[in-house]
Amino acid sequence: VAIAYEFLLSTLERAKTESADRPESSYLSACINSAWAKLNKYYTKLDETPIYYAATVLHPGIQWAFLTRAYSGREGWIDKARYLIQTLWEEEYRDHPAQWEIADSNLPVAVRAREYNPFDSFQDELMSYPNSEEESVADEFERWQSTKQDTFSKHDNPLEYWSAKRFEYPRVAKMAIDVLSVPAMAAECERAFSSAGSMVSPQRTRLDASTIAVTQTVRSWLKAGLLEGYDGLLKETSGEVAG
């Protein structure tokens, strides 16, 4: 979103200059200025939340390169972006337990059970020693930022990248997936509301809220191609997925 705003603003600035040489320059200038004012109104809201900056920086093909260049000469803007992202990291993710751990499905049942034994946990707390991995948890985000992502471009899917990196950077990956999963616009959400409204017809007034939620979630995933090899209970009719 931040990149799109910069592109649109620069396009309007260029249009201002070009319109001066046109016969109808006053009319065009008025339209361009109105568009610029409206865009700038929303552009200034970027500082109200860390999400927009975080979505840019957490894209491995972009990181800080874009903001550093776009905000060149405006160090205060860059400092504000860094502050917002760092605050999000420290308050919401840095100290949280890692969500993703190495799968233990191949271990014997007895071994898996012993790992969650209260007595074993008690011993671990008494006999644990700090190691380099534990000491670097707080710097996980900093460690990722200092690593150049040579094989990833701005055109690649960042969610695929973070899915692959979720064991190496579990907390940063959680933050990135949370941020990058937010829809850039509400159009698809509105479609989901409309679909749910069609599903809950006067003949279906006793549907439980959880049933509606699960059905619409599965429908959305199916349309997005996230469910491969489904059992066929959900059928497609004329190119549309039945709700």
Average confidence (pLDDT) over 165-179: 92
Q: How far is CA 194 from CA 143, 181, 188, 221, 238, in A?
A: 44, 21, 10, 16, 18
CB neighbours of 51 closer than 8 A, spacing ≥ 6?
A: 179, 182
On whether both 62 and 176 belong to a single domain, the answer is yes
Q: In whole angstroms, give the CA distance from residue 156 to residue 169.
A: 19
Q: What CA–CA distance (Å, rounded) separates 112 from 104?
A: 7
39: amino acid identity, one letter: L
Do residue 151 and residue 88 come from a single domain? yes
Query: Which amino acid is residue 5, in one-letter code?
Result: Y
Same domain, 104 and 126: yes
Q: Tokens 């671990």 — which residue? A: 124
Average pLDDT over residues 191-200: 85
Which tens digit of pLDDT belongs to each residue from 66-118?
888 888 888 898 999 999 999 999 999 988 887 665 444 444 444 344 444 55
On whether residue 35 sits in a domain, the answer given is no
Tell me: do 84 and 197 sit in the same domain.
no
- Higher pLDDT: 171 or 188? It is 171
Q: How far apart are alpha carbons 61 and 172 in whole angstroms?
A: 16
- On whether residue 154 sits in a domain, the answer given is yes
Pick the last residue of a domain from 165, 182, 199.
Answer: 182
One domain, residues 136 and 215:
no
Last residue of a domain, one of 131, 150, 182: 182
Burial class (CB in 10 A: 0-12, 13-18, 19+), 86: middle
Interior angle at CA 186, CA 152 and CA 154, nearest 5: 10
Residues 6+ positions from 198 with CB-CB distance below 8 Å: 243
Range of the domain at 164: 49-182
CB atoms within 10 A of CB 50: 23
> Considering its fold, how many domains does the chain have in total?
2
The domain boundary, picked from 182, 202, 223, lies at: 182
Residue type, 66: F
- Same domain? For 207 and 153 the reply is no
Half-sphere exposure of 70 (CA within 13 A, CB side): 21
Q: Is residue 152 part of a domain?
A: yes
Looking at the structure, do residues 110 and 154 belong to the same domain, yes or no?
A: yes
- Span 41-74, pLDDT tens digits: 988 888 899 999 999 999 998 889 888 888 888 8
Distance of CA 94 to the CA centre of its chain: 17
Answer yes or no: is 218 within a domain. Answer: yes
